[in-house]
Chain A
Amino acid sequence: MNDVVLIFLPLVASLFVYLFYQSSGGAKYSVLIFFGYLLYHTISLYAMLPDTGYLELGCYLEVESFDFTLTLAVDKLSVIMLILTSILLILVTLSSWTVSKAPSAYFALLLFFSGAIFGVFMSTNLLWFFIFWELTLVPMYFLVGIWGAEGRIYAAVKFFLYTHVASMLILLAFFLLYKQSGHFDMTLIKEAMLTTPALVWWLLFVGFAVKMPLFPFHTWLPDAHVQAPAPVSALLAGVLLKMGAYAMIRMVILMLPEQAQHYAWILLVLGLVSLLYAGVMALYETHLKKMVAYSSISHMGLVAIAMATLTYEGLSAALFEMIGHAFIISPLFLIAGFIHHQTHSWQMGEMGGIMQKAPYISALFIIAGLGALGMPATMGFVGEIAILISSIDRFGLWIAVIVIGSMLAASYMIWSFRRVIYGEMSPLIARSSFDISSVEFFSLILFAFLIVLLGLFPQLIFVSINEAFEVYLKMGVLR
């Protein structure tokens, strides 16, 4: 299938999926099949990449006087993101298997989302990048606003407005870049630009920092996560945040390397603050899903620290941690959402003893939680040690303070195991049932499998991750 079709087909087809499957429940099957195809397609894209690591997929909609050409191209970095996204879309679809409220609309929105997110990762024209970037907000807004929990409207509006304002900064930066270089195309900008004004870097940095999110732009995330239905939380954490981190790497670091050298300390400081600040917040939180949400912010802080090194090692570590974070935080959100769905409570103080009722779900929660606290044999450990080593290498010994982040992670995770899973059975848990549909259970198993598999054999993906950044090392962008 042509790649441009891959983007626009789901955007258009989502309407038909919605209309066609309104009465029957078949939407999920066709969406799942399409996502399966996406995975196949992205993997074959990976195989097709030439040695240079850059593959142009075509130019569309060329306009004479204005740089509005939809140029699609991929390199290793974006293909890795595409594969990650496809896997997560499949897993999220599986874990939404039993959505009962308007399933056809729900899956149509997922389909729409997939088209937009593929556009983000594929287009090199900044205008189109921006269009797709904004398009991802639309399905997310509805998914949170319609299928969410009690405070969903507030959360959806806050999420939409907050990230939208951030997007305006990004758009402004894009126009400034156009004014300087006369191009909207990333590769052309990189060639044409000799010096960039610091303002552009700052605008882009803040715009993407909101999405990642970094302190102090993080407050939309706990609200959005808490109110979103569990699979959408997983999608937010696994794909949407990664979109921010990807853009941070792609534009703030690789497209504007000189400014990045100059201002990397900002990224380092905010990353460090996010790591510790969100870690303490997670420790303090009694709300199960908020605890997971702050844990997610804390880990993105770690990613930011790794990015701030601007070294080959650091960025490889950052990308690995991003992937690990997607596979670790998503099941935590899914299980937290499942517990809420069964008990109608968010308070960890009211829970306890779930292990006695649902041992397997509890075990999966523990596996994912151990991943979050950096237990060896999970992806969390590999990411952490890689980040520790690469950041000490770049910043010196003092950066070893990031191990305090692991202590915080261990504290809030183990303490939440104690409150939610272990201990005497609380009355709330005793009267709730924990029957999970086999498809949703299967998706959790797949998450756990990936966490452990890639934690034991990280080389499986480090091969491609290293290649993705090796190109930039040779170009002199990275150290």
Chain B
Amino acid sequence: MSAILLLVLPFVGAILSFLAGKREKAYAFYVAQAVGIMLFGLTLFLFVTYTNPIDISIKWFTFGSFSLPFGIYIDHLSLVMLLIATGLGALDIHFSHDYMKGEKDQSRYYAKILFFIGGMILLVSAKELLGLFVGWEFMGLASYLLISFWHQNKAPADAGVYAFLYTKFGDIFLFAAVGILFYATGTLDLQQLNHLAKSGEISDSITFVAALFIFIAAIGKSGQFPLFPWLMRAMEGPTTVSALIHGATMVNSGIYIVARLFDFYIASETLIIVATVASLSAFIGATSALVQTEIKKVLAYSTMSHLSLAFIGLGAGSLAAGMGHLTNHAVFKALLFLSAGAVIMATHHTKDLFKLGGLGGKLRLVALMMAIGGLSLSGIPPLSGFYSKDAVIASVLINPQTYGVISTLTVIAGVLSIAYILRVWILIFAGKPKEDAIYQKTTAPSIFWIILPLSIMAILTIVLACYQEELAVYITNEAYHEPHIPYLPIYLLGMIAFLGWGVYRLYYKRVDLKEKLVAQPLFKSIHGVLLNGYYIESMIGWFVKNFILEAVAKAIAWFDYAVIDASINAFVPIARFFFRGVGATHSNKPSNQAGVMMLGLFLLLAMILIGSLV
């Protein structure tokens, strides 16, 4: 019962929040806050009272003899995702109170946020692939609407289009997979699909194709290579939205779907593809994050890279490593994003890293929170990020299939995260202020509305670190021994010292050296490649523009106009020509009439002639 309430409440809440906000702007927040806390409370209740998986079957509709169900299935894996979604959702709504204070469309904002949370809940508690797809699309829609929240400006409006279409490109594969699996197995039940694939009752080729299609959808949603450019554009949305949707929850759904169908994936033998694509993405994300100039873009590339690490964990065959990293990442990335949001808000919407600096004194608490998040992201013990990163890297090294290129890229991506997050922190909080005007008007944020949610997340990051083994056992339902790399903390400390020194030199002590380095032609071109995300977006854009819009669409449009429509319109002159000729025979000129009479006579005679000959 409470499961159904959990599914319905966010949507009802969205409507209520919208209506309340129309009545009085501030009410929208209070309704959303209440609903957010209620959702978290319900999830906690389910978590505490959990004994067996909640399993509810509902028939959605029947067409012909086919019946499509829409069930609810909540087990350990779903509960972890639910706790992340509703917990971070509630904190995010709390944070939004100050962040969105000046907005006039608050009702719209909170309604969409609740709609988003509803979509996420739908996704993770779906029993069938169909229900999962519905949640998947709802989130895509909410993401689109929230990225374009400031729709009156060009950049957010464009960013929404990118986000929708890039992810939709993946979604159509998921949609096709729904059809294919229903055809092949007659069921869409996720548990049953796992079971059928495991026992080999689905043919290998169908399992392979379906798994691949689902993974393409996951690539789109989780911002993996090559469908990631939308994630960077998505940073045009409010930072609270980036934190919740593009950092902590929605982008996880690609990993969730692979984890949910993990047995299916093992049977399909596509995990190596997952690991390969993800390791490439991890490398691209981590290297691109090194040079970004916007605070949120660094975090976006870092999100991409860390989601890849979770994918790599799954790809290496370790469900616990992948899901563990997902959980930890969700918390510390939300923390980082919201700290960045606090900085952006305090500095009156300055996102350019090179305009900030020296804010450590003014924003002491925010600096502390961001440091905790950053250390966790870098994988420094004893924070949560250390354990899961360790597990991912170790699982890659253990698996002979992923040992080699994949493990190398993974390690590089893991290590580079130390460098880019340190760079962000130094550029914001250390050194001297670069623009005095911005520095002057910077004010410390409110303790209750801003610092409170941040500190809850920071504490969570620390607490989670103590429960890594328990989390792994909880998710996989089996005794689990986390693989460890021996002496990893020592390597790490060495890396930190080295990278820290490098970043410190380049961005703090010897800025001139950095400038000189960037001026070198080789470094300049590398810098350009990294800054533009390896030009993937330009390449896709070029392809779509020149191949689809300029070639195919133009050709079809020409064909439609000059061949099909023209051949219809050609009937008019043909008819006119024909009838003009016939019309002439019926004019009242004697010569014409005589001519026609003669023609008729000849025709008659010719017919008689032919008839007599045959």
Chain A, range 196-245, C-beta contacts under 8 Å to B:
216, 218-220
Give 1 or 0 for each of B42-83: 1 = CB within 8 Å of chain A CB: 000000000000000001111111101000000000000000
Does A182 sit within 8 A of B, measured CB to CB? no
Interface stretch (choices A253-261, A278-286, A438-446):
A278-286
Question: With contacts A418-B158, A462-B62 known, is A284 near B556, CB below 8 A?
Answer: yes
Let me know if B160 and A312 touch, CB within 8 A.
Answer: no
CB–CB B134/A423 < 8 A: no
Let me know if A371 is at the binding interface, CB within 8 A: no
- What are the interface flags for A425-458 relative to B under an 8 Å C-beta threshold, 1 for contact and 0 otherwise? 1000000000000000000000000000000011
- Asked if A418 and B160 make an inter-chain contact with CB atoms under 8 angstroms apart, the answer reads yes
Interface check B452, CB cutoff 8 A: no
Judge whether A311 and B157 touch: CB under 8 Å. Answer: no
Q: Which residues of B contact A99 (CB under 8 A)?
A: none
Of the candidate stretches A3-11, A57-65, A402-410, the one touching chain B is: A402-410
- Contact at A469–B556, with CB atoms within 8 Å? no
B554 near A: Cβ within 8 Å? yes
Q: Which of A17-25, A41-49, A383-391 contacts B (4 or more CB under 8 A)?
A: A383-391
Please pick, from B138, B553, B564, the residue contacting A280 in the complex, using a CB distance under 8 A. Answer: B553
Which residues of A lie under 8 Å from residue B154 when comparing CB positions?
423-424
* Interface hit among B176-184, B360-368, B530-538: B176-184
Question: Which chain B residues lie closer than 8 Å to A424 at the CB level?
Answer: 152-154
Question: Nearest chain A CB to B191's CB is how many angstroms away?
Answer: 20
Q: In whole angstroms, what is the CA distance A388 to B179 when docked?
A: 6
Answer whether residue B460 sits at the interface, using C-beta atoms and an 8 A cutoff.
no
- Given A219-B565, A397-B183, A418-B158, the answer on whether A375 and B64 have CB atoms closer than 8 Å is no
Complex interface: stretch among B90-98, B164-172, B264-272, B487-495:
B164-172
Q: Does A174 contact B (CB under 8 A)?
A: no
B549 contacts A376, CB within 8 Å?
Answer: no
Q: Is the CB of A459 within 8 A of B61?
A: yes
Assess the A411–B137 pair: CB atoms within 8 A.
Answer: no
B160-A283 in contact (CB<8A): no
Residues A284 and B554 in contact in the complex (CB < 8 Å), given A410-B168, A411-B165, A423-B154: yes
**Which residue from B172, B176, B183 sits with its C-beta under 8 Å from A393?**
B183
CB pair B180 A281 closer than 8 Å: no
Residues in A with CB closer than 8 Å to B176 are: 388, 400, 403
Min distance, Cβ A110 to any Cβ of chain B, angstroms: 28
* B560 close to chain A: CB less than 8 A: yes
Contact A280 B172, CB 8 Å, known A376-B138, A386-B63, A414-B165:
no
Q: B260 within 8 Å of A by Cβ?
A: no
Asked whether, in the complex, the Cβ of A389 is within 8 Å of the Cβ of B66, the reply is yes
Q: A280-B553, A312-B64, A392-B180 are in contact. Are A407 and B141 (CB under 8 A)?
A: no
Q: Tell whether, in the assembled complex, residue B172 and residue A219 are in contact, meaning their CB atoms are under 8 Å apart.
A: no
Residue in chain A with minimal CB distance to B122: A376
B439 at the interface (CB under 8 A from A): no
- B residues less than 8 Å from A220 (CB atoms): 568
Q: Which of A88-96, A314-322, A339-347 contacts B (4 or more CB under 8 A)?
A: A314-322
Bound CA–CA A148/B84 (angstroms): 56
Kindly identify which residue among A313, A370, A457 contacts B63, using a CB–CB cutoff of 8 Å: A313
Query: Roughly how many angstroms separate A403 CA and B133 CA in the complex, as a whole number?
Result: 14
| Contact residues in B for A218 (Cβ distance below 8 Å) | 564
A434 to B34, CA, bound (A): 36
Q: Is A180 an interface residue (CB 8 A)?
A: no
Q: Taking the complex as formed, is B351 at the interface, i.e. its CB lies under 8 A from any CB of chain A?
A: no
Given A388-B179, A400-B180, A466-B63 in contact, is the A375-B152 Cβ separation under 8 Å? Answer: no
CB distance B183 to A392 under 8 Å? yes
B152–A281 touching, CB < 8 Å = no
- Output the nearest chain A residue to B140 by Cβ-Cβ distance: A375
Q: Using a CB-CB cutoff of 8 Å, which residues 126-158 of chain B contact chain A?
A: 130, 133-134, 137-138, 141, 144, 148, 151-154, 157-158
Q: Is B607 an interface residue (CB 8 A)?
A: no
The CA-CA distance from A418 to B161 in the complex, in Å, is 7
Rounded to whole angstroms, the CA-CA distance of A415 and B162 in the bound complex is 10
Residue A353, interface by CB 8 Å: yes
Contacts of A389 in B (CB 8 A): 66, 68, 178-179, 182-183
B173 in contact (CB, < 8 A) = yes
A377 located at the interface, meaning its Cβ lies under 8 Å from any Cβ of chain B in the complex: yes
Is B557 an interface residue when CB atoms closer than 8 A count as contact? yes
The majority secondary structure among interface residues of chain B is: helix
Name the residue of chain B whose CB is nearest to the CB of A391. B179
Complex Cα distance, B501 from A357, in Å, reads 54
Contacts of B206 in A (CB 8 A): 397
Set A314, A384, A406, A422: member contacting B148, Cβ < 8 A: A422
In the complex, B552 has a CB within 8 A of chain A: yes
Closest residue of chain A to B561 (Cβ to Cβ) is: A219
Q: Is B175 part of the contact surface with A, judged by Cβ < 8 Å? A: yes
**Which A residues are in CB contact (< 8 Å) with B173?**
403
* A375:B137 contact, CB within 8 angstroms: yes
* A263 within 8 A of partner (CB): no
Give the contacting residue for B151; candidates A320, A355, A384; CB below 8 A: A355
* Contacts A313-B66, A462-B61; A385 near B152 (Cβ below 8 A): no
Select A400's contact among B63, B165, B179, B560, beta carbons within 8 Å.
Answer: B179
Is there an interface contact between B66 and A390, defined as CB atoms closer than 8 Å? Answer: yes
Given contacts A280-B552, A410-B168, contact A390 B64 (CB under 8 A): yes
**Bound Cα distance A376, B136 (Å):** 9
A377 near B134 with CB under 8 A, answer: yes
Residues of B close to A421: CB separation below 8 A: 151
A196: shortest Cβ distance to chain B, in Å?
26
Q: Would B152 and A423 count as touching, CB distance under 8 A?
A: yes
* Chain A 129-167 interface mask (CB, 8 Å, partner B; 1/0): 000000000000000000000000000001000100000
> B613 CB to closest chain A CB, in angstroms?
32
Given contacts A277-B556, A376-B134, contact A414 B161 (CB under 8 A): yes
> In the bound complex, what is the Cα–Cα distance between A390 and B68 (angstroms)?
12
User: In the complex where A376-B134, A414-B161 touch, is A404 in contact with B152 (Cβ < 8 A)?
Assistant: no
Tell me the complex Cα distance, A314–B63, Å. Answer: 8
Query: What residues of A have a CB within 8 angstroms of the CB of B175 in the complex?
Result: 384-385, 388, 403, 406
B contact residues around A315 at 8 Å (CB): 64
Are B560 and A422 in contact (CB-based, < 8 A)? no
CB of A356 closer than 8 Å to a CB of B: yes
Bound CA span A313–B176, Å: 18
What's the minimum C-beta distance from B149 to chain A, rounded to whole angstroms?
Answer: 10
Minimal Cβ-Cβ distance residue in B for A223:
B565
Q: Do B172 and A283 touch across chains, with their CB atoms under 8 A apart?
A: no
Question: How far is B152's CA from A423's CA once the two chains are assembled, in angstroms?
Answer: 5
Say yes or no: B557 contacts A284, CB within 8 Å: yes
**Contact of A312 with B556 in the complex, beta carbons under 8 Å:** no
The docked-state distance in angstroms from the alpha carbon of A65 to that of B209 is 64
Taking CB atoms, residues of chain B closer than 8 Å to A284 are: 549, 553-554, 556-557
- Residue among B141, B144, B564 making CB contact with A219, cutoff 8 Å: B564
Q: Knowing that A355-B152, A392-B182 are A-B contacts, what are 12 other residue pairs whose CB atoms are under 8 Å apart, sorted by A's residue number?
A: A284-B553, A284-B557, A314-B64, A315-B64, A317-B64, A375-B141, A388-B175, A389-B182, A410-B168, A422-B152, A422-B157, A462-B61
Q: Which residues of B approach A to under 8 Å, CB–CB?
A: 59-66, 68, 130, 133-134, 137-138, 141, 144, 148, 151-154, 157-158, 160-161, 164-165, 168-169, 172-173, 175-176, 178-180, 182-183, 206, 209, 548-549, 552-554, 556-557, 560, 564-565, 568
11 inter-chain pairs at a CB distance below 8 angstroms, sorted by A residue, are A219-B568, A370-B141, A376-B133, A376-B138, A381-B137, A385-B68, A404-B172, A406-B168, A423-B151, A423-B152, A458-B60
Q: Which 6 A-B pairs have the closest CB atoms?
A: A313-B64, A422-B157, A284-B553, A403-B172, A376-B134, A312-B64
